[in-house]
């Protein structure tokens, strides 16, 4: 058995897929989640997929006493920290809730880690920290800036991690900057389960395909891109999950602390909104009715990663294609039209 890992937010979309990848790689896992944006059913399904119960603790990262109990009961090699709120629009309406959850929660977690001398952290950052990029592809040294509280919360945590690494050189702090995670586990048993009408493109397309939503609004067709629609670096969530395993493996290999080490997780390829719609329609055999609408406030034209650092340092690269991303999203959506809610 390999090292034990605490997975905060492990009941969520990326967390569940990562738990499976960690288990397959031989890590022991403990999931800590307050279920504010997830469900026990997701944990049950992960347990079924890995063929054994998951150790799950319902708790909030802002609850220092509860976290302390978890660290007293387990000896962790490190923490993968997914727990946080992620809806950009909601963060504009409720900035204090976002800073409280994402920034204060992370500070509480870091304080407990310091107390128990657990100094390895893999943090869910985001390509959103690059704002409107000056050049493409975006590498890790690109300037960072954010225009909404969600993005600002991720950037603030990155700054905190940088300061922490300067203050004490025994920390290993890897913010993984995800591009656009999509897709689902190939079993069709776990996937993204938005509470409400989806904000993000892939779940919206999936719900149009399955007949839950009438038509997709494509936000803008006058960008300077291949077909005028926005271009993003969509990455399959199981590739992303493997990126976390690669980051832990990397930390296990190190003989000296790495300090603050940000790494992009993307494919390095851009795909337009229209290209994704076409690919999804082909894979699912369903029409995806759409109409062009105004640009969405805060959106950028194009965003895709330089994936070289992950390849060179972590020996990881994304493998799955847009077709596979659409196939797996569609399998999850069509097998679970109401997500984890059993009706």
The residues carrying an active-site annotation are: 150
CA distance 78 to 57: 17
Is residue 146 within the footprint of ligand WQD (CB under 6 A)?
no
Instruction: Supply the minimum distance, in Å, between the C-beta of residue 104 and ligand NAD.
Output: 9
Is residue 300 within the footprint of ligand NAD (CB under 6 A)?
no
Is residue 36 within the footprint of ligand NAD (CB under 6 A)?
yes
The CA-atom distances, in angstroms, between 185 and each of 44, 94, 204, 209 are: 14, 32, 18, 19
The CA-atom distances, in angstroms, between 224 and each of 170, 220, 233, 314, 327 are: 45, 11, 16, 33, 29
The pairing of strands 271-272 and 231-232 is antiparallel
Q: Which of residues 107-146 bind ligand NAD (CB under 6 A)?
A: 124, 126
Q: Which of residues 71-90 bind ligand NAD (CB under 6 A)?
A: 82-86
Whether the CB-CB separation of 199 and 88 falls below 8 Å is answered with yes
Is residue 9 within the footprint of ligand NAD (CB under 6 A)?
yes
Between residues 35 and 253, which has the closer beta carbon with respect to ligand NAD? Answer: 35
Kindly give the residue spans of alpha helices, DSSP state H, lying in the chain: 13-24, 40-50, 64-73, 88-93, 95-98, 105-115, 149-167, 201-209, 237-253, 273-284, 308-309, 322-335
189 binds, among ligand WQD, ligand NAD, none (CB under 5 to 8 A by kind): none
CA distance 1 to 158: 31
Is residue 145 within the footprint of ligand WQD (CB under 6 A)?
no
DSSP 3-state of 87: coil
Is residue 299 within the footprint of ligand WQD (CB under 6 A)?
yes
Between residues 193 and 222, which has the closer beta carbon with respect to ligand NAD? Answer: 193
Whether the CB-CB separation of 11 and 80 falls below 8 Å is answered with no
Between residues 18 and 167, which has the closer beta carbon with respect to ligand NAD? Answer: 18
Is residue 35 within the footprint of ligand NAD (CB under 6 A)?
yes
Is residue 180 within the footprint of ligand WQD (CB under 6 A)?
yes
Is residue 157 within the footprint of ligand WQD (CB under 6 A)?
no
Binding site for ligand WQD (CB under 6 A): 86, 88, 126, 128, 180, 199-201, 204, 216-219, 230, 232, 273, 296, 299
Binding site for ligand NAD (CB under 6 A): 8-9, 11-15, 33-38, 60-62, 82-86, 101, 105, 124, 126, 178, 181
């Amino acid at each position: 058995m390999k090292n034990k890992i605490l997975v905060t937010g492990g009941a969520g979309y990326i967390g569940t897929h990562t738990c499976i990848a960690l288990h397959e790689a031989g890590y022991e896992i403990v999931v800590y989640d307050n279920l504010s944006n997830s469900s026990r059913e997701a944990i049950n399904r992960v347990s079924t997929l890995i063929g054994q119960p998951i150790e799950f603790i319902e708790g909030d990262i802002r609850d220092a006493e509860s976290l302390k109990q978890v660290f007293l009961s387990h000896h962790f090699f490190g923490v993968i920290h997914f727990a946080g709120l992620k809806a950009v629009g909601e963060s504009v309406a409720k900035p204090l809730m976002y800073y409280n959850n994402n920034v204060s929660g992370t500070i509480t977690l870091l304080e407990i880690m310091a107390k128990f001398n657990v100094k390895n952290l893999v943090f869910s950052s985001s390509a959103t920290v690059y704002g409107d990029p000056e050049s493409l592809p975006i590498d890790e040294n690109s300037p960072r800036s954010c225009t909404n509280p969600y993005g600002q919360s991720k950037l603030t945590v990155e700054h905190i991690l940088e300061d922490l690494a300067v203050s004490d050189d025994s920390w290993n702090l890897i913010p993984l900057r995800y591009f656009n995670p999509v897709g689902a586990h190939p079993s069709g048993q776990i996937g993204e389960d938005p509470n409400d009408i989806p904000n993000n493109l892939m779940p919206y397309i999936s719900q149009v395909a399955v007949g839950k939503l009438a038509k997709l609004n494509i936000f803008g067709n006058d960008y300077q891109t291949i077909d005028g629609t926005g271009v993003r670096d969509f990455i399959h969530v199981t590739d992303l999950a493997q990126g976390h395993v690669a980051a832990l493996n990397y930390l296990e290999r190190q003989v000296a602390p790495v300090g603050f080490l940000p790494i992009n997780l993307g494919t390095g390829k851009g795909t337009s909104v229209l290209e994704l719609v076409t690919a999804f329609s082909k894979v699912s055999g369903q029409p995806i009715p759409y109409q062009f609408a105004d640009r969405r406030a805060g959106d950028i034209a194009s965003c895709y990663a330089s994936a070289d650092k992950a390849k060179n340092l972590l020996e990881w690269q994304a493998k799955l294609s847009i077709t596979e991303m659409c196939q797996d999203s569609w399998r999850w959506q069509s097998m679970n039209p109401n997500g984890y809610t059993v009706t």
